[in-house]
Structure 1
Amino acid sequence: MQKTLLTKLSIIVGLCVIFLIGLSMVSNIIYERQYYAESVIKEITQQHVNPQQIITPFIAIPTTVTPACQPDASDTPNTKSKCESPYSKIETVFATQTQAAQSLKVSTDTYKRGIYSATSYDGQLTFAQSYTFVDTLKNIDSTVTAMSNDADSITISPNADKAQLAKTITHWNQAKLIIPVSDLRGVATLPTVKINQKSIEASYPQIPMIENLTYVEVDIPEDVLAQLIDPTSQQNKETLVATSAMDKNPDKSEVDHQPSNPKDNQALKITIDLLLSGISNLTTVPTGQNFTLSMHSDWQTPNFIGKALPNTKNITDEGFDASWQNQYLTVANNQSLSQCISTPNHHYTIINKPTLNSDSQSYNPDSFDSSRGMMADSAAVAGSNQSVLLNSFGVSFASPNDVYLQTERAMKYALLLMLVSFGTFFLFEVLKSSRIHPIQYLLVGCALFVFYVLLLPLAEQIAFWQAYIVAASACVGLIGWYSYYVFGGFKRAVIFTATLAGLYAAFFGILSTEDLNLLLGAIFCFVILACVMVMTRKLDWYKVT
């Protein structure tokens, strides 16, 4: 009899090995279906729109720099100068304060390919910006010595030791408000822009000022250009008027004749309303001095991504509200962006396109440098390539019913399910002297294996919990009906069927608690082992007959 028990144990071990091989095949099927789902979603993005990343709008001003000529080392009277070629670059002006608001409506059934669908969103983005030029133009040399007819300012840096003075021409009349959007297909209508309460129509750039960056631009009005060129002129004018008034009316209080706050005169107010659509996620690159972002959506399961989590968030059944503010990331983006764009002769490439993450169905911009970075080719300056990365944050609209992930997690408990089922058969055979043939073990193992074969295709059609109930009920019913004939009695069949149903219910409960699944799984294994040890505590394995 001992030899028979050892033979049965060997058979059970062999069946477990076969069962695990079958599970590996099911895992391959899961990966194939997941890859196919991702390829379908990628096809949808190619035909419709990609995930969106928005860089906070800023003002770009092109400049032309003529370097100073260096005299030759020789001291001969006919000395020649060594002159470098002029080069162009772009100066950036970031907002002093930006309040960004994003209101999004998310849907999963807008774009479908068979049973697969992409999570799309439509929303309205609003940027309320304030520019204070005395503060923001510190990086631009403001020693203007001449003004040309086309509103270009010429700055000359004197140096007595040089044969020719360096010269910088700032093309103020070509200054643009840049609104970068990673995929302009998601911009159905050009945004509405108000500069100092004056509505201005945005346009697509005919000749892009910033290469390899998709954006729309807005021409700066002439009165704002004057404010850009000389932000203190209006302040000085008001000061002279106020001084003259005080001379004529010395009896009036000083407060009545004080000029207005200089920053009020220098502030430029810009409001941008942008209608935007995209797929899977939306991220924002903050720039400026004070940046705040608030987001509202009807999506109940947001996945916050990027370099910073929201400072405040509120998730309910109706959606979520979140807000971000991170001064360090904003300042770092200012430095990186201005350094890259001001590279001489535009030796840079800004890449602003989030890419599909091959590890999941969602688009995760932090998995790829291209989604949040730019490449600056500074060979003309340093002789080598340099890379600069921008920091972003936002939200990914992850599907709450990721059938492939949940099925894969369910398979992690497959071995435990099989061991408990075979172990129950074996205990009935030992304790109740039931005779169970190895073929019967094999058939029950096949029924357990079919559960996972049913679970995946059902979960692709209906909700995962519904698919789990249907597949588990079918397998438990089949095995329960078959165990009635195996054990030759109704009572034993009911006990085994109830045990198997309890296992499936316990596993589903473990799968539903994502944060505690490992702990609950460990406790469950301990309880199962304790039950087996209690049931066999008085069994003399040497005298089993």
Structure 2
Amino acid sequence: MNRSLGIKLGAIGLLIVLLLIPLLMIDGLIGERQSARNGVLDNIARSSSYSQQITGPILVVPYRQKIREWKVAEKTGVRYQEEHTVSSRFYVLPESFSLNGEVGTELRARGIYQARLFKSDNQISGHFEVPANYGITEDLADYQFDEPFLAVGISDIRGINNALKLDLNGQSLDFEPGFGDDMLANGVHAPLGNVDSTKLMKLNYAFNLKLQGTSSFSVVPVGRDSQVQLHSDWPHPSFMGEFLPTEREINEQGFTANWQTSFFATNMEQVLRDCVNNSGCSSFDARSFGVSFVDPVDQYLKTDRAIKYAMLFIALTFAGFFLMEVLKRLQVHPVQYGLVGLALALFYLLLLSLSEHLEFALAYAASATACVALVGFYVCHVLHSWLRGAGFTLGLAGLYGVLYVLLSAEDYALLMGSLLVFGLLACVMLLTRKLDWYGVGKAPAPEPHLTLEPGLLGE
């Protein structure tokens, strides 16, 4: 390799390294704008309601129990019986639990940022089977049962949008604020009044819960047999939690999802006992499933993914310039390389700023069109040919088209990127298969010419 070619390649490599500076600055700006957006979304959620999780209903039975203990007097050594009363609670999970929810979404804007809220209309029903005397078979006289109540946990009670009424065996009861128990922090409860606990009870319950929230909606399957069905107009659901839907249908109009679980799969009774004994319910709450209403790939994530291909784009563009120099014996100054590289870097800044105001597809099209037009116009003069400039412009436009496909097809991005690089390398090898690389950069040899003596031409 001659010296001039080595200097040119070194200058191109140095320019690529220097272009990392504006690219890193734009990448940092993406993070800052995303953090600002997340802060606004958190403020909107704080003003309305956060993610929602429904836990229950759970039948809670407060009781008092007489405890008798034998003790020995220290001085006399006489044994005596000491009696005291302790207060505790029974927790009964329902035999069946069913939730049928209709979920609609809407956007709330603050400045240039938008948050997606959901409103769900849930019909909840099922039944309890409570054994006689709550399952106590010995020393029944030592127990005194207080008024039981039905408790429903709601993670953010600010999102409740209706007056809650409980239908219990055909009787209408009012819900009251508060979960009524320390086991769960937030929720509502409905006192059941006097019930006959001396025989087996079957309690059929039903109530309607209208709930507003942001980000996600989830349910804890408390029933021995739990069935949850959700319908929504959100076309991009992200199902989450311990269980995936047994059936789901997703289209442009929204989604329908069905979940079905049993005690064999959830082990909720054991988890509830551990929760009561340890005075902590994180494992109980964790047995949930639901759906997230957050856009899985927003404009900031897409822009961040796009900038990861920036160095590849700049390298491919510089490689195209270099091939033009080699094949057409042109001279492109390093400054011209640098200006084109800056134009390619500014594409990502345009994409970031426009995507905050337009749909990402429109922002991408506008940014790519502006960048391709600017570079194409400049290259036509650099290469001293409108035809060469048009060809280079079409190639650059094709690269931006491929990048958009890569961003849209996340699952196949690696495969498509690998095929793109391999195809471009094959094209370079094909175009330069007969090129004398030792002769690149050398001045062409002068053409030979004949010198005739004057006498040979005649007088």
Give the structure-2-normalised TM-score: 0.91
Q: Which residue of 2 aligns with 1:363?
A: none
Structure 2: how far apart are the matches of 1:449 and 1:497? 16
Structure 2 matches for 1:308-327, cutoff 5 A?
308-327=243-262
Structure 2: how far apart are the matches of 1:433 and 1:210? 82
Give the 3-state SS of the residue equivalent to 1:122 in structure 2.
Answer: strand
Q: After TM superposition, give the deviation of residue 3 of structure 1 in Å.
A: 1.4
AA aligned opposite 1:340: C
Q: Which residue of 1 aligns with 2:218?
A: 283
Give the 3-state SS of the residue equivalent to 1:461 in structure 2.
Answer: coil
Structure 2: how far apart are the matches of 1:135 and 1:126? 29
Q: Which residue of 2 aligns with 1:78?
A: 78
Structure 1: how far apart are the matches of 2:67 and 2:223? 30
* Residues 284 and 394 in structure 1, CA contact (< 8 A), matched pair in contact too: yes
Structure 2: how far apart are the matches of 1:84 and 1:536? 99
Give the 3-state SS of the residue equivalent to 1:99 in structure 2.
Answer: strand
Structure 1: how far apart are the matches of 2:189 and 2:56? 13
**Residues 328 and 525 (structure 1), Cα distance of their counterparts in 2 relative to 1, 3 Å cut:** farther
Q: Does 1:463 align with 2:431?
A: no
Q: After TM superposition, give the deviation of residue 461 of structure 1 in Å.
A: 0.7
Q: Which residue of 1 aligns with 2:126?
A: 129
* Residues 329 and 391 in structure 1, CA contact (< 8 A), matched pair in contact too: no
AA aligned opposite 1:474: A
**Residues 304 and 331 (structure 1), Cα distance of their counterparts in 2 relative to 1, 3 Å cut:** closer
* Residues 122 and 276 in structure 1, CA contact (< 8 A), matched pair in contact too: yes
Consecutive unaligned residues of structure 2, counting only runs of 5 or more, are 443-459
Deviation track 1:387-444 (CA, whole Å, cap 9, x = no partner) reads: x663110000122660011111111211111111001111111111111111101100
**Residues 435 and 325 (structure 1), Cα distance of their counterparts in 2 relative to 1, 3 Å cut:** same
Q: Which residue of 2 aligns with 1:379?
A: none
Q: After TM superposition, give the deviation of residue 70 of structure 1 in Å.
A: 3.2
Structure 2: how far apart are the matches of 1:52 and 1:309? 18
Q: After TM superposition, give the deviation of residue 348 of structure 1 in Å.
A: 2.7
Q: Which residue of 2 aligns with 1:230?
A: 198
Q: Does 1:220 align with 2:192?
A: yes
* Residues 167 and 206 in structure 2, CA contact (< 8 A), matched pair in contact too: yes
Structure 2: how far apart are the matches of 1:19 and 1:328? 59
Aligned counterpart in structure 2 of residue 187 of structure 1, from 153, 160, 163? 160
Q: After TM superposition, give the deviation of residue 170 of structure 1 in Å.
A: 2.6
Give the 3-state SS of the residue equivalent to 1:57 in structure 2.
Answer: strand
AA aligned opposite 2:86: Y
Aligned counterpart in structure 2 of residue 120 of structure 1, from 117, 120, 145? 117
**Residues 130 and 208 (structure 1), Cα distance of their counterparts in 2 relative to 1, 3 Å cut:** closer
**Residues 85 and 18 (structure 1), Cα distance of their counterparts in 2 relative to 1, 3 Å cut:** farther
Q: Which moved more, 1:14-23 or 1:37-46?
A: 14-23
Structure 2: how far apart are the matches of 1:331 and 1:507? 44
Q: Which moved more, 1:534-543 or 1:15-24?
A: 15-24
**Residues 85 and 408 (structure 1), Cα distance of their counterparts in 2 relative to 1, 3 Å cut:** farther
AA aligned opposite 2:21: I
Deviation track 1:294-313 (CA, whole Å, cap 9, x = no partner) reads: 11111111000111111100
Aligned counterpart in structure 1 of residue 175 of structure 2, from 202, 211, 215? 202
**Residues 212 and 132 (structure 1), Cα distance of their counterparts in 2 relative to 1, 3 Å cut:** closer
Q: Which moved more, 1:56-65 or 1:499-508?
A: 56-65
Give the 3-state SS of the residue equivalent to 1:56 in structure 2.
Answer: strand
Deviation track 1:22-68 (CA, whole Å, cap 9, x = no partner) reads: 22211111111111111111111111111101102111011223433
Structure 2 matches for 1:132-531, cutoff 5 A?
132-134=129-131, 137-138=134-135, 141-143=136-138, 145=140, 154-155=141-142, 168-171=143-146, 174-205=147-178, 208-210=180-182, 213-222=185-194, 225-226=195-196, 229-232=197-200, 266-328=201-263, 331-341=266-276, 343=277, 348=279, 350=281, 373=282, 390-399=286-295, 402-531=298-427
* Residues 242 and 286 in structure 2, CA contact (< 8 A), matched pair in contact too: no
Structure 2: how far apart are the matches of 1:90 and 1:213? 16
AA aligned opposite 2:87: S
* Residues 61 and 148 in structure 2, CA contact (< 8 A), matched pair in contact too: yes
Q: After TM superposition, give the deviation of residue 543 of structure 1 in Å.
A: 1.7
Q: After TM superposition, give the deviation of residue 74 of structure 1 in Å.
A: 8.3
Q: Does 1:56 align with 2:31?
A: no
Structure 1: how far apart are the matches of 2:228 and 2:265? 12
**Residues 136 and 308 (structure 1), Cα distance of their counterparts in 2 relative to 1, 3 Å cut:** farther
* Residues 94 and 136 in structure 1, CA contact (< 8 A), matched pair in contact too: no
Deviation track 1:236-276 (CA, whole Å, cap 9, x = no partner) reads: xxxxxxxxxxxxxxxxxxxxxxxxxxxxxx42211011111
Deviation track 1:114-154 (CA, whole Å, cap 9, x = no partner) reads: 1111110111111111112239944xx24464xxxxxxxx4
Q: Which residue of 1 aligns with 2:101?
A: 102
* Residues 293 and 325 in structure 1, CA contact (< 8 A), matched pair in contact too: yes
Give the 3-state SS of the residue equivalent to 1:522 in structure 2.
Answer: helix
Give the 3-state SS of the residue equivalent to 1:126 in structure 2.
Answer: strand
Structure 2: how far apart are the matches of 1:219 and 1:400? 42
Structure 2: how far apart are the matches of 1:127 and 1:329? 22
Structure 2: how far apart are the matches of 1:200 and 1:91? 21
Structure 2: how far apart are the matches of 1:183 and 1:91? 25
Consecutive unaligned residues of structure 1, counting only runs of 5 or more, are 146-153, 156-167, 233-265, 351-372, 375-387
Q: Which residue of 1 aligns with 2:445?
A: none
Q: Does 1:91 align with 2:90?
A: yes
Q: RMSD of aligned C-alpha atoms? A: 2.3
Structure 2: how far apart are the matches of 1:136 and 1:485? 94
Q: Which residue of 1 aligns with 2:438?
A: 542
* Residues 103 and 231 in structure 2, CA contact (< 8 A), matched pair in contact too: yes
AA aligned opposite 1:102: G
Q: Which moved more, 1:84-93 or 1:312-321?
A: 84-93
Q: Does 1:14 align with 2:11?
A: no
% same residue: 33
* Residues 287 and 330 in structure 1, CA contact (< 8 A), matched pair in contact too: no
* Residues 94 and 288 in structure 1, CA contact (< 8 A), matched pair in contact too: yes
**Residues 522 and 135 (structure 1), Cα distance of their counterparts in 2 relative to 1, 3 Å cut:** farther
Structure 1: how far apart are the matches of 2:258 and 2:384? 65
Structure 2: how far apart are the matches of 1:42 and 1:321? 28
AA aligned opposite 1:323: N
Q: Which residue of 2 aligns with 1:380?
A: none
Q: Which residue of 1 aligns with 2:449?
A: none
* Residues 151 and 180 in structure 2, CA contact (< 8 A), matched pair in contact too: no
Give the 3-state SS of the residue equivalent to 2:389 in structure 1.
Answer: helix
Give the 3-state SS of the residue equivalent to 2:23 in structure 1.
Answer: helix
AA aligned opposite 1:513: A
